[in-house]
Amino acid sequence: MDKITEAIGQYSILNETFIKAKISAILSDKLADNRNKKVYETILSCIDLTSLNSTDTEEEIANMTDKVNIFEDSYPELPNVAAICVYPSMVNVVHEILTAGVEIATVTGGFPHSQTFIEVKIAETSLAVMDGATEIDIVFPIGKLLEGKNEEIIEELQEIKTACRDAKLKIILESGALKIEDIQRSAILSMESGADFIKTSTGKQQPAATTLATFVMCQMILEYYQKSGRKVGFKAAGGISTTEEALQYYCIVESVLGSEWLNKDLLRFGASKLANNILCDIIGETISCF
């Protein structure tokens, strides 16, 4: 047995019945208590404000960045979002305009399918970092996972991690395309390769984020932390637009990983609509800020 297979074998084996029962219990126990402004503010502070459309223009991305810049003046009592996430070609636009203290995230490596040359993935990542990206979101090579090419996967992910330099690496599992055991394996391989975050989905495929995948990923993060002592973050992304939806993911993270993960350093929500909606629930009136 090779070292990678042996390492994977040290983790729990989860099944759908067990997971669904745990999720039901968590939401029953946590959801009502967490419907409060303090939790909503925490979620707001963990949002990667995202625009990943084929129709994105420099003007639109500049406007989005300006809205983040002025947020602190408009709502000085509230935390700003954690990051602005855009395509690589728009990183420089954000970098030149951004004055708020938030991260600049981008998607590289053949997003959203990861089906391109490793040289392209490394080059795109390096160029994005040179343009000012401080966080890199890439898609896990699912085809290689399904072929059992664990060593190739780790080699690829480690090379991209190196290309990130000081930027954080978030690895998107595209969990909606995977069985439970494959979500587990991709999470483990990602973390073993140096991922700073593991992320549910690209938002370009359905199903996107799910509570089931979230529980599995958080459980793997917990077990990895118990084995290695290194904390890996979790990012829920894809179809999360309401406060109530975000709250479900928050409750699972809180229950599985604990309060230490309830901050922007270890928890993120990738969203375009969520920031406005949760801000409305905090303020108590309908507004359009972002």
Single out the catalytic residue among 22, 161, 170, 235: 235
179 is catalytic: no
In whole angstroms, how far apart are CA 132 and each of 11, 80, 84, 98, 120?
37, 19, 12, 11, 18
Partners of residue 270 on adjacent β-strands: 48, 237
Q: Are 95 and 61 in contact (CB under 8 A)?
A: no
Single out the catalytic residue among 30, 170, 199, 264: 199
Q: Are 157 and 125 in contact (CB under 8 A)?
A: no
Dihedral in degrees, nearest 10, Cα atoms 23, 178, 180, 10: -130
137 is catalytic: yes
Alpha-carbon distance of 204 to 147, in angstroms, equals 23
Q: Are 126 and 163 in contact (CB under 8 A)?
A: yes
Alpha-carbon distance of 103 to 193, in angstroms, equals 22
Alpha-carbon distance of 210 to 191, in angstroms, equals 20
Single out the catalytic residue among 137, 170, 196, 264: 137
Element (H, E) at 233: strand 233-237
Element (H, E) at 107: strand 103-108
Query: H/E/C letters for each residue in 45-70?
Result: HCEEEECCCCCCCHHHHHHHHHHHHH
Dihedral in degrees, nearest 10, Cα atoms 21, 274, 88, 174: 20
- Give the residue numbers annotated as catalytic, written as ranges: 137, 199, 235
